Structure 1
Amino acid sequence: MKKLLIILHDLGAGGAEKMMARLAGALVDAGNDVTLLLLTGGGLHAANLDPRVKKVELQSQRTARAVPALARFLRANRFDAQLAALTHVNVVAIAAAVLSGTLARLHVSERNAFSHDKHVNPDFMVRVAYLVAPLLYRLIPNPVICVSRGVAQDLVDTTLARRQDVTIADNPVLDNDFRDKSPGPPSHRWLLEKTGSVIVAVGRLVPQKGFDTLISAFAALPDSDARLIIFGEGPLRAQLLDQARTLGVADRFDLPGYTCEPLAEVAAADCFVLSSRFEGSPNALVEALSTGTPVVATRCPHGPQDILIGGLVAPLVPVDDPIALSQAVALQLSTPRDLQRHSRLDAATRFMNASAVQTYLAALLGSPSS
């Protein structure tokens, strides 16, 4: 049994937070003693954390101010490996590891396309973290764990990081028995009592997710009875609703907010769409594949091409091209639902907990065994 530590800012509603909570539980399943340390504390996904995972909250007011407390914790508690997630947390963890003398055991991870993600958060300290992180990645003893080949290549191509400074580990997105589990009934009324085709998307309402392109593509569909549901919350809610009204599809479009059971909603839909402008390894796409529901995705940097095997599993369309997206969705809606269902399920299998956790153990410990 190895003693492992995961360092995160909190367990908020983001995909990285969800995956780190899942990874903690999967590492316990693999026979390890796991602690999840939150630099601040709380968050939506705290309720879903495996009770066998030890949780520590430093309650720092800001992530950047957590360095002294984290250094004290690392000095007082010896772990076989320490894993930090997200760029600004990585920088804090590196500083604390240096102060505590534990840098040799620290591993950091990048969850998104670095060259795109660095422009998203305007916070000054986050911007500073993105500036200094590539230099630190070149200097630290362990390679940066990236969630996809594309994320790793992007880091090498656009920063000081070298190929030897990166490695890859898959997200633990799915339960090991996902093929045998029913996702349960959906909650949305359009999915409970369907009167026509229903298209579903899931994600934060932010520019990265390209939901404005999706709404334009939806408005261009020849099927005037189709409906579109986007599950998620974010700052673009009012803008997206205004766009739907302008395009005359407001009565067939809904933003019901965050859903705790996205698989149930996607499983009942006729098509799932990932319209993102960039990603790391989109977990929502993997979850959609696991339901067998037909999917369409943009060929965005850097996850869909890998997950969908270059378009063999499901259609890939150019980013910010509503006409191409509309045509691909229309094709999926007119194709028998079960066509390529097994291919979609097979593509999702790689991201089962048991499979993915071995890639992390190999990266953290140098061996796929615990």
Structure 2
Amino acid sequence: MPNNKRIVFAINSLAGGGAERVLTTLLGGSAPWRNRYDIHLALLDDEERAYQVPDWVQVHQLDAGHKLLPSLTQLRGLLGRLQPDATLSFLTRANVANAWAMAGRGKPWLISERVNTSAHLGSNVSAHAARAMVRFAYPRAAHVIAVSEGVVDDLADNFGVRRARMSAIANPVDHDAIVRLAAEEPAFVPAGPYIVAAGRLVPNKNFALLLRAYARADLSERLLILGEGPERTALATLAASLGIADRIDMPGFIANPYALLARARAYAMPSNAEGFPNGLVEAMACGVPVVATNCASGPSEILARSPRHAINAGIDVEAGALVPTDDVNAFAAALRRVLSEPRRTACGAAARARSLDYGVERAATNYWDRIEAALAAPPAPAPSLNDNVRLRQGVTS
């Protein structure tokens, strides 16, 4: 349709991950806008795709190899050919590449920040360049969509993004798809009733805390941890040292986690930091009670409808429990409370009810409202190509 405006979404890849799943869910919920816009998707890295997009989305595969400089140059080349009317990117490297690629084009570009940026980038020497790029690029976006109010606060306080240019839109949960997938036979069957946790095996997810809390709680249920990552060996070693290795299952990445989530007795989220905890809400959509840390950002907004700073200690909530970060005793005690009946059944029902606030239609409408507002307004100031030195540093995710 030649008169349609062209919108390009960009992300690192569609390999397994929460942001990737959210983007494909949003695209799937964008059907009402397909007759008004030509919708494109740019993938920076050539990786096997864990998620599919609608066939009416035009996909452009790049091959940046997880590196920033090829991401900058390849995305700029692609957008030079496509001449989009607006762009929207997901994940830090794609966001920085979007800023570079849209520089000087006079068109609005938006970014979606999926993580608590300060926690994600860290504070070591190698993180300084990445932080500098975020401070340079993000304030120049036409709009920044954060996944939680905690992420908005972090970007405003630490990266110079004006609050007037930001909004928080919670990640969508495709309840219909979850119900359908939950009814399938699970790809892995634990040897008995189990608690489930899910996420990349990296330090910020703090599965070490979960192992220690699980050992201290002395539960009859097994512990199932879904996901893959560099911490696998260290976690297996820790489980052995705690004497619980024979009660821990770590089957790696599972394409359909919902079949396992729906059959779990509880969901555990021990993270030190989140942008928006997709797995938490998806477990709630399966009717599973939850125990989560009150980390930045998102869990307190989901479970207690309150900002993180308003909760100073662990609390019981309708859907389960919210506990301080890195507190083994509190997490263990919360697991025991939530697993006891009749509390477990009541929490599961409350979790399902709360998850309905995170529907696909609402999220898709909110995203497209921001895109259309940006199209109707003068574009935000874009980085100059003369600033390329500051954009050629080491953001890789």
Q: TM over 0.5: same fold?
A: yes
Q: Aligned partners of 1:256, 1:201: CA distance in 2, in Å?
A: 12
Q: Is 1:366–2:373 an aligned residue pair?
A: yes
> Cα offset for 1:314?
2.5
Contact preservation (8 Å) 2:43, 2:60: yes
Which of 226, 232, 250 is 2:227 aligned to? 232
Distance 1:33 1:171, change over 3 A: farther
The residue number in structure 2 matching 1:39 is 44
Q: Is 1:304–2:299 an aligned residue pair?
A: yes
> Cα offset for 1:186?
2.4
Contact preservation (8 Å) 1:148, 1:281: yes
Percent of aligned positions that are identical: 32
> Cα offset for 1:71?
2.3
Which of 12, 18, 22 is 1:19 aligned to? 22
Q: Aligned partners of 1:239, 1:18: CA distance in 2, in Å?
A: 27
* TM-score normalised over the length of structure 2: 0.83
Secondary structure of the 2:196 match is strand
Secondary structure of the 2:129 match is helix
Contact preservation (8 Å) 1:170, 1:360: no
Alignment length (residue pairs): 356
**Structure 2: where are the runs of 5+ without partners?**
306-316, 375-397
State the superposition RMSD in angstroms: 2.3
Q: Aligned partners of 1:163, 1:281: CA distance in 2, in Å?
A: 19
> Cα offset for 1:137?
2.2
Contact preservation (8 Å) 1:204, 1:233: yes
Which of 118, 121, 138 is 2:121 aligned to? 118
The residue number in structure 1 matching 2:312 is none
Q: Aligned partners of 1:257, 1:121: CA distance in 2, in Å?
A: 29
> Cα offset for 1:317?
0.3
The residue number in structure 2 matching 1:342 is 349
Distance 1:35 1:127, change over 3 A: farther
Contact preservation (8 Å) 2:143, 2:166: yes
Which of 268, 283, 289 is 2:284 aligned to? 289
> Cα offset for 1:296?
0.8
> Cα offset for 1:238?
0.7
Q: Is 1:210–2:206 an aligned residue pair?
A: yes
Alignment of 1:76-87 (within 5 A): 76-87=81-92
Secondary structure of the 2:42 match is strand
> Cα offset for 1:180?
7.5
Contact preservation (8 Å) 2:194, 2:265: yes
Distance 1:49 1:177, change over 3 A: closer
Secondary structure of the 1:17 match is helix
The residue number in structure 1 matching 2:131 is 130
Deviation string 1:294-315 (CA, Å, 9 cap, x unpaired) is: 1111111111111113434321
Q: Aligned partners of 1:257, 1:181: CA distance in 2, in Å?
A: 18
Distance 1:166 1:256, change over 3 A: same
> Cα offset for 1:121?
9.5
Q: Is 1:65–2:70 an aligned residue pair?
A: yes
**Structure 1: where are the runs of 5+ without partners?**
none
> Cα offset for 1:75?
2.8
What amino acid is aligned across from residue 27 of structure 2 in structure 1? A
What amino acid is aligned across from residue 198 of structure 1 in structure 2? Y
> Cα offset for 1:162?
2.4
Which of 264, 289, 296 is 1:269 aligned to? 264
More moved, 88-97 vs 78-87: 78-87
Which protein has greater RCO, CA pairs closer than 8 Å, 6+ apart? Answer: 2
The residue number in structure 2 matching 1:3 is 6
> Cα offset for 1:77?
1.9
Q: Aligned partners of 1:349, 1:129: CA distance in 2, in Å?
A: 36
What amino acid is aligned across from residue 93 of structure 1 in structure 2? N
Distance 1:2 1:338, change over 3 A: farther
The residue number in structure 2 matching 1:325 is 331
> Cα offset for 1:70?
2.2
> Cα offset for 1:343?
2.2
